[in-house]
């Protein structure tokens, strides 16, 4: 069988791979994208088991009541930064609807500390846009055909080899794709990364993110809320269209298993109480899902004929909601480097890959340092440290220039 040849092969059809493909095609490159699953299906759908379910004590989460389970809402949502939104708009892949602006954010420590951010004060329309995964996929998928990207779905990876001038990915169906550059976009436990010889073991946080969507009695007014809970992890409420919120509870593993085992009404009551009933009563509208949390720092995100993007390149704690935004930042940087390649015709040339790696080193390290540091700081138990960290949070809230400098990397 004759190999399929292209400039760039993207291995992995998640959101970052879907955004990168049309951006590269617009840069004049021939692009193919390969994934083991149908690209029309998001990785985690309402009503299905999550990719990493909590197996202990899980109950039937059928949802009786006034609303019941709402199949129109995806359990997996993302907080898309203004910078990521601009990148997606540039590819034509920004959804025109089902968006909710985060106009303000309030964070509370575990001993009275608070800090608040306002889009208005930062000169932005929104701090972030809350978007469901299926909505993003629906906007990005048509761009593949529009930009001439070749799609090979339902294709399991069999082997990956690198020659001097190309990477060669063999698929389980016998087909082979050869590309000047292979991009690994296949997630935290990347098969491509391992096949290329980049050894990395994600470091568990000992926490599991429990995610679900709820109706709430009171209007959220575009405000995202986050609590650092003593001994119970970090709880975030993200505004959805209407009187609905999506929650991410980064809980110790035992608590996560307990939450997943609760009946729908009990889970709703537990989440509302943990947030001091700030939005009144809750009612669960999507079955909860659970995802173990890991930190991943690589020695390098490029190698011979290889670039890594998204979760294949780094893993961060979700407390700032920046995981997917770091991935879109990778995609934008790689697309820009290849678009500005000038006389360098080879998409996998070392000079281009080095340029991409340098562009991403500082922002990724900065975000990992902040999120990992905060997660560890609030996980520590000494009472004196609790008082100190909460006092520090409130002090930063009173220093507008410092607060602005903290917000800017996330906005970009």
pLDDT for the residue 115: 82
pLDDT at 167 exceeding the cut of 90 = yes
Instruction: Confirm if 34 and 334 have CB atoms less than 8 A apart.
Output: no
Q: What is the dihedral sign for C-alpha 115, 116, 121, 124?
A: positive
Cα-based angle 303, 8, 22 (whole degrees, multiple of 5): 125
- In this predicted structure, what is the pLDDT of residue 407? 60
The span from the CA of 362 to the CA of 326, in Å, is 11
Query: What DSSP letter does each residue of 234-282 carry, written as one string?
Result: EEEEEEETTTEEEEEEEEEHHHHHHHHHS-HHHHHHHHHHHTTTTT--E
Contacts of residue 237, Cβ cutoff 8 Å, sequence gap at least 6: 220, 224, 225, 226, 245, 246, 247, 275, 278, 279
In this model, does residue 184 exceed pLDDT 70? yes
The Cα–Cα gap between 145 and 39 comes to: 12
Q: Does position 391 have pLDDT exceeding 90, yes or no?
A: no
Q: Which two tokens stand for residue 331?
A: 């995609």
Kindly tell me if the per-residue pLDDT of 67 is higher than 60. Answer: no
Cα-Cα-Cα-Cα torsion 224, 225, 228, 229, nearest 10 degrees, comes to: -130
Report the distance separating Cα 408 and Cα 410, nearest Å: 5
pLDDT at residue 51 is higher than 70: no
Residue 384 pLDDT: 47
Q: For tokens 């009173």, what's the residue?
A: 398
d(CA 213, CA 268): 10
In this predicted structure, what is the pLDDT of residue 410? Answer: 62
- CB within 8 A of 76, min separation 6: which ones? 42, 43, 44, 132, 133, 211, 289
What percentage of the chain carries pLDDT values higher than 70? Answer: 83
With 50 as the cut, is the pLDDT of residue 268 above it?
yes
Between 381 and 340, whose confidence is greater? 340
Task: Indicate whether 14 pLDDT > 90.
Answer: yes
On the question of pLDDT at 285 being above 80, the answer is yes
For the chain, the structural domain boundaries read: 4-400+403-411
Q: Is the pLDDT of residue 397 over 60?
A: no
CATH: 3.40.50.300, 3.40.309.10, 1.10.3470.10, 3.50.50.60. Which one for 4-400+403-411? 3.50.50.60
In three-state secondary structure terms, 350 is helix
Tokens 């970052």 sit on residue: 16
Spatial contact of 355 and 342, defined as CB atoms under 8 Å apart: no
Q: Measure CA of the first residue to CA of the last residue in the chain; give whole Å.
A: 45
Strand 77-80 to 31-34 pairing: unpaired
Q: Which two tokens mark 133?
A: 């995964």
Q: What is the mean pLDDT of residues 190-205?
A: 93
> How confident is the model over 57-79, as a mean pLDDT?
60
> Which conformational region is residue 148 in: left (phi greater than 0), alpha (psi within -120 to 50 degrees), or beta?
left
Angle between helices 323-339 and 350-379 (to 10 degrees): 170
Mean confidence (pLDDT) of the chain: 87
List CB contacts of 75: < 8 A, sequence separation 6 or more.
44, 45, 46, 50, 211, 212, 213, 286, 287, 288, 289
Lowest average pLDDT, out of 6-10, 57-61, 351-355, 360-364, goes to 57-61
- Structure confidence at residue 254 (pLDDT): 97
Q: Is the pLDDT of residue 134 over 50?
A: yes
Mean pLDDT along residues 160-171: 96
* Residue 375: pLDDT band with limits 50, 70, 90: confident
If one counts every other C-beta atom within 10 angstroms of the C-beta of residue 364, the result is: 20
* 3-class secondary structure, 410: helix
The answer, yes or no, to whether residue 195 has pLDDT greater than 90, is yes
* Predicted local confidence at residue 44, as pLDDT: 40
Instruction: For residue 65, name the pLDDT band (cuts at 50, 70, 90).
Output: very low
- pLDDT of 91-104, one tens digit each? 999 998 899 999 99
- In this predicted structure, which of 11-15, 65-69, 191-195, 227-231 has the lowest mean pLDDT? 65-69
The band of 372, judged by pLDDT with boundaries at 50, 70 and 90, is confident
Neighbours of 59 (CB within 10 A): 14
pLDDT, mean of residues 313-338: 94
How high is the pLDDT of residue 34? Answer: 96
| 243 pLDDT more than 70 | yes
> Rounded to whole angstroms, how far apart are CA atoms 386 and 50?
34
Q: Measured between alpha carbons, how far is 90 from 205 in angstroms, rounded to an integer?
A: 35
Q: Which residues contact 226 (CB under 8 A, 6 or more apart)?
A: 105, 106, 107, 108, 234, 235, 236, 237, 319
Q: What is the mean pLDDT of residues 168-196?
A: 96
The confidence band for 55, taking pLDDT boundaries of 50, 70 and 90, is: very low
């Amino acid at each position: 069988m004759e190999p399929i040849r292209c400039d760039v092969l993207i291995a992995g059809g998640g959101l970052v791979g879907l955004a990168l493909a049309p951006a590269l095609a617009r840069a004049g490159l021939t692009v193919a994208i390969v994934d083991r699953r149908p690209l029309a299906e998001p990785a985690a759908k309402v009503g299905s088991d999550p990719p990493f379910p909590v197996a202990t004590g899980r109950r039937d989460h059928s949802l009786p009541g006034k609303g019941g389970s709402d199949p129109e809402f995806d359990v997996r949502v993302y907080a898309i930064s203004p910078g990521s939104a601009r990148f997606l708009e540039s590819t034509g892949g920004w959804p025109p609807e089902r968006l909710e602006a985060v106009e303000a954010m309030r964070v509370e420590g575990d001993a009275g500390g608070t800090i608040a951010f306002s889009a208005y004060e930062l000169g932005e329309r929104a701090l972030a846009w809350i978007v469901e995964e299926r909505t993003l996929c629906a906007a990005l998928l048509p761009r593949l055909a529009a930009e001439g990207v070749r799609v090979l779905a339902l294709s399991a990876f069999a082997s990956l080899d690198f020659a001097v001038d190309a990477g060669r990915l063999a698929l389980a169906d016998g087909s082979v794709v050869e590309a000047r550059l292979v991009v690994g976009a296949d997630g935290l436990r990347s098969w491509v990364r391992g096949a290329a010889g980049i050894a990395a073991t994600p470091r568990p946080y000992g926490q599991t993110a429990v995610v679900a969507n709820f109706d709430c009695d009171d209007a959220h007014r575009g405000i995202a809320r986050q609590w650092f809970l003593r001994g119970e992890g970090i709880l975030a409420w993200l505004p959805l269209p209407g009187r609905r919120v999506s929650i991410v509870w980064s809980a110790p593993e035992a608590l996560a298993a307990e939450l997943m085992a609760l009946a729908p009404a009990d889970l709703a009551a537990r989440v509302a109480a943990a947030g001091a009933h700030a939005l009144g009563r809750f009612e669960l509208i999507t079955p909860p899902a659970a995802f173990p949390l890991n930190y991943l720092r690589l020695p390098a995100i490029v190698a011979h004929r290889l670039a890594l993007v998204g979760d294949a390149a780094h893993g961060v704690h979700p407390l700032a909601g920046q995981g997917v935004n770091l991935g879109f930042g990778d995609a934008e940087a790689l697309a820009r480097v290849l678009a500005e390649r000038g006389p360098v015709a080879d998409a996998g040339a070392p000079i281009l890959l080095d340029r991409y790696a340098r562009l991403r080193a500082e922002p990724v390290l900065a975000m990992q340092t902040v999120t990992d540091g905060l997660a560890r700081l609030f996980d520590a138990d000494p009472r004196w440290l609790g008082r100190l960290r909460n006092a520090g949070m409130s002090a930063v809230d009173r220093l507008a220039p410092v607060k602005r400098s903290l917000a800017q990397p996330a906005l970009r």
